[in-house]
Amino acid sequence: MAVGCPMMKVKQQTDHPCFGGDHAKAGRLHLPVAPGCNIKCGFCERRFDCANESRPGVASHVLTPDQAVERVARVKHHMDARGGARLKVVGIAGPGDPLANPKTFETLQRVQARFPEMTLCLSTNGLYLPEKLDEILAVGVRSLTITINALSPAAGAQVYEWINLCGNRIRGEAAAKILLAQQLRGLELAAAAGMMVKINHVYIPGVNDHESLDLAVKARELGAQMMNIMPVIPLGRFRDLDPPSAATMELVRNQAELVLSQARHCKQCRADAAGVVGKDIDLETLENRCAS
C-alpha cells in the first residue's frame, strides 16, 4: 500500500469460524487455486496427499477460477439442503501462498460477484502483503491470517530455507529479516485498514518456542485481534523432531492468552477444506454426485 493512501474501513464480521464464530452455524470453504509459493518453510511437505490428511499445504487438486466458483455453488447448495450450518466464509489458503498467484485475485473477484453475501478471507505468509494490500481490499477480503513463525532473523533462518523476492532467492538470516519486516508492516497496514487479522504461529520446540509470547505482544501492538499457536507437524527438515505435547501447547496458549485472544479450535486445515471445522465435506463424493 502506498504511503499516504487512504485506508478503506472493512466491516467487522462475527460469523467467521476461524475468528471465534459459531462452528455449528458457520461453514467455510478453502479454494485451492494458489499452487506457487514465494518461501520455503522447513516443515512444509506437499509431495503427497491422502484423503485423511489434515494439514496446511495439502490439496487433492488445484482449481481454475471457474472451477473454484462452481465449487462454491456446489458446497453452498449441499449445506443449504442439509440444513444446520450454512456456508458463510470462502477463503484461499494455498496450497502455496495466495499472494504469489494472480489467480487468487481473479477467483476472489468472481466469488464476490456471484456470492456477495459471503465473507472472503485470505491466508498468507506476508512476504508480499504490504504491496498487495490494496488489491486484497479491492476484491472485498474482510479477514486476513498471517503466518509468522519467527521474531528474530536467527530463529527465522532455522524455520525458513529461502524466500523469493523479485525473482531472487535469498537464504539465511538475510531472508528471515526481510520476511519479518514485510510481515510486521503488512500486519500494521491491514489492521489500520480495519481488517480482522489473525496470526498463525507454528510452535517448534528448540527453534522458535522462546519467541511465541513476545510475538503475541508484538502482534497485539500492531493490531492483530487473535493468535493461533499450532504444534509443528514433523515433516521436511523437522521430520525427526518430537512435536510438542498437548500439555505444552495448552500451557503456551494459556500464557499467550493473557496477551492476545487464542484460537484453540484450529484443526490445521487443508487448502481445500470444506464444511464445518472438524466435520469436513467429502468433496470427491460431492463432486462425483453432481457430475452424474
Name residue, grid cell 470462502: 90
Tell me, what's the pLDDT at 66? 95
pLDDT digits (tens, 9 = 90+) for 132-150: 999 999 999 989 999 999 9
Q: What is the mean pLDDT of residues 228-234?
A: 93
If one counts every other C-beta atom within 10 angstroms of the C-beta of residue 147, the result is: 21
Identify the structural domains of the chain with CATH numbers, from first to last. Answer: 17-281 (3.20.20.70)
What distance in Å separates the CA atoms of residue 228 and residue 216, rounded to the nearest whole number? 10
Indicate the length of the chain as a whole number. 292
Beta-carbon contacts of residue 105 (< 8 Å; ≥ 6 apart): 135, 139
User: Within a 13 Å sphere around the CA of 54, how many CA atoms are in the beta-carbon half?
Assistant: 13
pLDDT digits (tens, 9 = 90+) for 3-57: 333 333 433 445 665 665 555 667 889 999 999 999 999 988 755 444 444 445 5
Tell me: pLDDT of 257 over 60.
Answer: yes
Tell me: pLDDT of 230 over 60.
Answer: yes
Q: Which three cell numbers stand for residue 217?
A: 505482544
Tell me, what's the pLDDT at 250? 96
What is the 3-state secondary structure of 63-110? CCHHHHHHHHHHHHHHHHHHCCCEEEEEEECCECCHHHCCHHHHHHHH
Please, what is the end-to-end C-alpha distance for the chain in angstroms? 46
Tell me: pLDDT of 59 over 80.
Answer: no
pLDDT digits (tens, 9 = 90+) for 105-136: 999 999 999 999 999 999 999 999 999 999 99
Q: What is the mean pLDDT of residues 224-234?
A: 94
Tell me, what's the pLDDT at 263? 86
Tell me, what's the pLDDT at 49? 45
* Higher-pLDDT residue of 248, 288: 248
pLDDT digits (tens, 9 = 90+) for 196-205: 999 999 999 9
In one letter, which amino acid is 150?
Answer: A
What distance in Å separates the CA atoms of residue 235 and residue 241, rounded to the nearest whole number? 8
Tell me: pLDDT of 216 over 90.
Answer: yes
Listed in sequence order, the DSSP H helices in the chain are: 65-82, 103-114, 129-138, 153-159, 172-192, 212-222, 246-257, 283-291
Beta-carbon contacts of residue 58 (< 8 Å; ≥ 6 apart): 46, 49, 95, 270, 271, 272
Beta-carbon contacts of residue 101 (< 8 Å; ≥ 6 apart): 33, 34, 35, 36
Q: State how far the alpha carbon of 67 is from the alpha carbons of 63, 222, 241, 252, 280, in Å.
A: 6, 37, 38, 40, 19
* Angle between helical axes of 283-291 and 65-82 (0-180°, round to 10): 100
Q: Which three cell numbers stand for residue 89?
A: 466464509
pTM, rounded to two decimals: 0.85
